[in-house]
Amino acid sequence: MPCVQTDADLTALNTFGLPARARRLLRVRSSEEARRARAFLDPKGDPGLILGGGSNIVLRGEPIDTVLKVDIPGRRRLDETETSILIEAGAGEVWHDFVRWTLDCGWPGLENLSLIPGTVGAAPVQNIGAYGLEVAERIDSLDALDLTKGELERFERDACQFDYRDSVFKRQPGRWLITAVRFRLPRRWQPLTRYDELARELAERGLGDSSPLTPLQVSDAVIALRRRKLPDPAELGNAGSFFKNPVIEAERCAALLAAHPSLPHHPQPDGREKLAAGWLIEQCGWKDRRLGPAGCYARHALILVNHGGATGADILRLAANIQNDVLERFGVQLEPEPIFI
């Protein structure tokens, strides 16, 4: 059986550092322990919280009946062909440590996703992405336990229904506990440097002009960028980028550009345009501004932070005020990335 802790403090288990408690905290280290943990769930009441690194949630503060903390370990190579390498990781592996391990092994492909907080099992739920790459592009398949039936199912990539910061697992909270994820990495690696900020960072390092880039060089550049822009959750509580970059129709984007020529925007494959949420928020005066113990980070308006003593209600109040201001000024509705519990 999984290890069970009663009346557990969850403050240290979420990167915002928000206070909350669980009546039961179960640490799950295998798919079999996850199946046995179903006995603690109330099928007619609270379905429970599946917790990875706690880096993409806002805990409102109400007591949670049962929390399943996924600590399933494991890293291995499964297969290799002329064009790809198939590797598998347990859902409890720390994401950044796993990324660097793949690079140390000579298996590139995830370097643009370096230093993203959280665990391997949480990565598909959110379909994490950064600097021109989404994790969905590298996922081959995964295993997930259906907590309503107790059956372990295999999901091929298409069955995960990935979308921008979304998946079938995020849309059905409390049902699926991911136990392992498999990644197909390219043998014929090409660096992804189309993201302007990353290209500038590499250029400033004198890389990519006269000699080929290496995956580790790209990873190191991504790490440097993230450390400059994002606060360390151990020092300043946060959940990374709080709002999704809104995607709007091209006509609407053209109208906004006419009024705001410096608005950053990126064409999408379907003809729509993705806007920079951080820019919209900064234009509304929220960068480095506080609302009680919560506020926007001084270096990046897209990051909401806990300056000390904030509750879930404080974070939600700040987020609502930001959304209202952006909607009023630009007519754009911002959608939060984290899940509210």
Active site residues: 165, 241, 337
CB 88 within 8 A of CB 78: yes
Residue from 139, 134, 137, 122 nearest 177 by CA: 122
Among positive and negative, which fits the CA dihedral 174, 176, 180, 182? Answer: negative
Runs of H (alpha helix) within 26-180: 31-37, 95-104, 122-126, 168-171
The burial of 106, by beta-carbon neighbours within 10 Å (0-12 exposed, 13-18 middle, 19 or more buried), is given as exposed
SS3 string, 235-272, reads CCEEEEECECCCEECHHHHHHHHHHCCCCCEEECCCCC
CB 74 within 8 A of CB 180: yes
Residue 41: helix, strand or coil by DSSP? coil
- Measured CA to CA, the distance from residue 128 to residue 113 in angstroms comes to 8
- Measured CA to CA, the distance from residue 134 to residue 11 in angstroms comes to 29
Bridging pattern class, strands 339-340 and 303-306 = unpaired
Q: Is 150 left (phi over 0), alpha (psi -120 to 50) or beta?
A: left
* 46: CB partners within 8 A, 6+ apart: 64, 65, 66
CB 37 within 8 A of CB 67: no
DSSP state of 18: -
**Crossing angle for the helix pair 95-104 and 215-229, to the nearest 10 degrees:** 160
